Homo-oligomer: A and B are copies of this chain.
Amino acid sequence: MQPYALTVDKFLDHAAKWWGRREIVTAEAGRVGYAELRARSNRLSGAFKALGLRFGDRIGTLAWNTQHHIEIYYGAMGAGFVCHTLNPRLTISHLAAMVNEAEDRMLMVGAGLAGIARDLALRCPCIETVVFLDGEAPQWEMSGDCRTFAFEALLQKYGAQTRWGDFDEGAAAGLCYTSGTTGAPKGVLYTHRSTYLHTLRSLQADAIALTPADSVLVAVPLFHVNGWGFSFAGPAVGAKLVLPGRYTDGARLAKLIREEDVTIAAGVQTIWLGLLDHLDATGEEVPTLKRVIIGGSRCPDALIQRMEERLQARVQTSWGMTELSPLGTVAPAHGSERAVASGRPPMGLDLKLTDAGGRTLAQQRNVSGHLKVKGASVVSRYFKAENDVLDAEGYFDTGDLAMIDDDGNLTITGRSKDLIKSGGEWINPGEIERIVGRLPGVGQVAVIGRADPKWGERPILIVELQKSHTLDEEALLDALRGNVADWWIPDEVIQVADMPLAATGKIDKNRLCAEYARA
């Protein structure tokens, strides 16, 4: 059969040829068809070359979900450069460590982020060029030899048609660091092949399943694991992409959904809480919406139900990781089956459950085990690390504890490093969180281990209630009795007004432990 490298530029080529007038819309900015987006992105590759970038060089982005960001994805990857997305909500020292390790030669900076960029440029001598996106003009003189451009001026001055692809599918395409909620951030270097195959995997009719008839609200940040791949899946099938830009509050999202006839919306649960609260407050409706895909941490059943009822849309829960590109499992897109836990793995990812020693459990259903995965879009070695992180059978340890039901639905029951050792036995905080999280009035919930002179550790329960609810501590603990072992019942309930979240929206257990875990 033909040699045919699986490179991601082919997605935008396909869109330009077959869906040239389908649009990418940026909130409060403008719209462009795939044919023009392709032409602009391709000319951007020429500008990157003119500025001296060489095959494999990294380009950092510190940017929101806008057209310019997608153009950078393709302008970089199409010509063999690596798009290194950075999360603007991280601390400067985290960001600087990432930029320096990645040796980013350029930094692309979105609206309102010039200050962070300036600090980064000072700390990162590798940055030679800073480019301001979204219509912002360079706001300050850079020190030394660092050049600055406005995006459109760069494109106009140096843009040139460039040959895309034409290299091995094993070439690097993207770089993203893990969130670092549970340790030092580690870089995951995606290849063209891994990204291409991840896209085809997500396009399966029972997975993310975009079609040309869809208008897709990408409320997932493009800086977070390739924005779950929508910038590839959209062009691959000619779906319309709707980008919220910098702000993702409920009012703005509701407006976008209505104005752009959004049929599918994707984002973490906090985003959807904001949308629901806005709709409840205003009485607005979002009638075109058919499906909502939820990523990030596990979604409480009560929230799923609230979304289904208020949005009259199908909810697809999912589970993924930076190391998985990120799609692991997802609830079905169609059919009579409602979302259960985090759904099943679409074809292309192998899962197994092992014991703590790495031995595959004989029984893979209805028991909790350490979750290991294998696939063409799964990390084998972190960026610049010396060693692979795979077991003897080639599986990656997710660090998650999980259970799979009879129908194959995956429930993440906790993180192996969150396990609490009490009296020599393990308590899984995740199972307690799941039960309490289902109770009416409960918003976010976390269980952490507190040092205990007698037992080693004892669990404590930290809870943030939904607005206008009050706490009955005993009711929370009563709900656990009979559902977990007695000695799993937390010793204390602590109520917080705002659960501390890490930059990715997940609960920041490091901060909780620092604050509450000492005896």
Contact = CB atoms under 8 A, between A and B. Distances in A.
B380 A190 contact: no
Given A334-B211, A347-B11, A204 B2 contact: no
A396 interface: yes
A189 B10 CA distance: 25
A205 B210 contact: yes
Contact of A334 (B201, B213, B336, B374): B213
A245 B336 CA distance: 30
Query: Which residue, A1, A13, A205, A394, has most C-beta atoms of chain B within 10 A?
Result: A1
Nearest to A377: B1
Given A2-B394, A375-B4, A380-B1, A205 B200 contact: no
Interface residues of A, number: 56
B390 A2 contact: yes
Nearest to A20: B408
A102 interface: no
A212 B347 CA distance: 12
A2 B375 contact: yes
A335 B203 contact: no
Interface in A379-401: 379-380, 390, 394, 396
A253 interface: no
Contacts of A237: 204-206, 346-347
A218 to B, nearest CB: 17
B206 A204 contact: no
B211 A205 contact: yes
A512 B378 CA distance: 56
Nearest to A172: B1
B1 A379 contact: yes
A194 interface: yes
A374 B2 contact: yes
A376 interface: yes
Contacts of A408: 18-19
A345 interface: yes
A332 interface: yes
Interface in A1-56: 1-4, 6, 10-11, 13-14, 17-19
Given A200-B201, A345-B18, A213 B1 contact: no
Contacts of A211: 205-206, 332-335
Contact of A1 (B212, B336, B345, B378): B378
A206 B18 CA distance: 14
A428 interface: no
Contacts of A394: 2-3
Nearest to A325: B1
A2 B378 contact: yes
Nearest to A232: B347
Contacts of A142: none
Nearest to A195: B1
B3 A380 contact: yes
A290 to B, nearest CB: 11
Contact of A203 (B2, B193, B203): B203
Contacts of A210: 205
A314 interface: no
A335 B212 contact: yes
| Complex A-B, nearest 3 residue pairs according to Cβ-Cβ distance, in ascending order | A213-B335, A205-B209, A1-B194
24 contacts: A1-B194, A2-B374, A2-B379, A2-B380, A2-B390, A3-B394, A4-B375, A10-B350, A14-B350, A18-B408, A200-B348, A203-B203, A204-B204, A204-B205, A205-B210, A205-B237, A205-B333, A206-B211, A211-B333, A211-B334, A211-B335, A213-B335, A213-B337, A236-B347
Given A212-B332, A213-B336, 7 more contacts: A4-B375, A6-B376, A10-B347, A200-B204, A205-B205, A206-B212, A237-B346
